[in-house]
Amino acid sequence: MITLALPRRYPSYCGANIWPLAALPELEVAFKALGKLIFDVGLMVAYHCDQYVSRGMKMRKDEGLEQILLRSRCHKGRLLYYFPAQLSNHEENGDSMSSWCGWHTDHGSLTGLTCAMFKRNDVEISCPDSAAGLYIRTRSGEIVKATFGENEIAYQIGETTEILSQGYLCATPHGVRAPKGKEASGVDRSTFALFMQPDWYVNRRWDEKLNFLFNCRDEKLKFSEDVYIHKEVFNAEVLLFQLIPSNDSLTFGEYSEMLLDKYYHEKT
């Protein structure tokens, strides 16, 4: 019963995977193996995040990032594809650091990223512009290129971790810069991201619309006055956080729905 109801409530989270079984049968196995590796290492990163946070705030073991990730069934692996810059519909915006993907923070707990692969005409190449790629903004406000190799995984902190750690850990602002110049013509970029996030659904709550009693785990996000997620940089977030009264709490599902409405449906 639950497997029927959840996709209706959260279509963007619960859609079935679509595997190109005929064209690329090996993708499903490789994709899941990579996702599992990034998840397993992510748990180790989470353990150390908890050690750090517990020095500053009181935290029960089951409230820590590691346990939240371990009990969640809502992690999402995605292959990301960036079209060659001149074919993209998006005009290059004023901020060249984010010409392929605008500055943002991920809303989940922890995002694991592989280093990207660049291609021209389906042939893998090394990127002709060494300035292209993923950029992050550090806690001290510096913009730095995130450089890592093909056998390495990068982890970024998401907004939910910032909220649950009451700001001891900060969500990582990031954007992706497209290559520039003649040589950049026709160059595309592919990478893999594992978005690790808490369970999102409501706990033992009757849903009028679906006529269904949810009997599942949720994760409450407590918004305290001390948490101002990158407010000073991203105007959209400033608006969003004005909508959440301080000291209020939402489930991760409610928080996600609020963001999706804000960004995609302009409901709020």
CB of 156 to ligand AKG, least distance (A): 8
Q: Is 259 in the site for ligand AKG (CB under 6 A)?
A: no
87 burial level (CB within 10 Å; 0-12, 13-18, 19+): exposed
Strand locations in the chain (E): 76-82, 101-104, 110-114, 117-120, 123-125, 133-137, 143-145, 153-157, 174-177, 187-196, 205-207, 212-214, 220-222, 249-251
Please pick, from the candidates 53, 113, 127, 157, the single residue that binds ligand AKG as defined by CB under 6 A. Answer: 113
Judged by CB, which is closer to ligand AKG: 102, or 128? 102
Q: Is 174 in the site for ligand AKG (CB under 6 A)?
A: yes
- Cα torsion angle, 93, 99, 103, 104, sign: positive
Q: Is 159 in the site for Fe ion (CB under 5 A)?
A: no
Please pick, from the candidates 106, 188, 219, 257, the single residue that binds ligand AKG as defined by CB under 6 A. Answer: 106
Residue nearest to ligand AKG (CB): 134
For residues 215 and 8, give the distance between their C-alpha atoms in angstroms, rounded to a whole number: 16
CA-CA distances (angstroms) from residue 141 to 95, 106, 214, 229, 232? 16, 18, 42, 14, 11
Q: Is 106 in the site for Fe ion (CB under 5 A)?
A: yes
Please pick, from the candidates 34, 80, 136, 153, the single residue that binds ligand AKG as defined by CB under 6 A. Answer: 80
Tokens of 154: 């990068």
> Which partner in Fe ion, ligand AKG, none is near 193 (CB below 5 to 8 A by kind)?
ligand AKG
Site for ligand AKG in 183-212 (CB under 6 A): 191, 193
Q: Which amino acid is at 23?
A: A
Please pick, from the candidates 49, 53, 74, 134, the single residue that binds ligand AKG as defined by CB under 6 A. Answer: 134
Q: Is 199 in the site for Fe ion (CB under 5 A)?
A: no
Binding site for ligand AKG (CB under 6 A): 80, 101, 106, 113, 116, 134, 174, 176, 191, 193
Binding site for Fe ion (CB under 5 A): 106
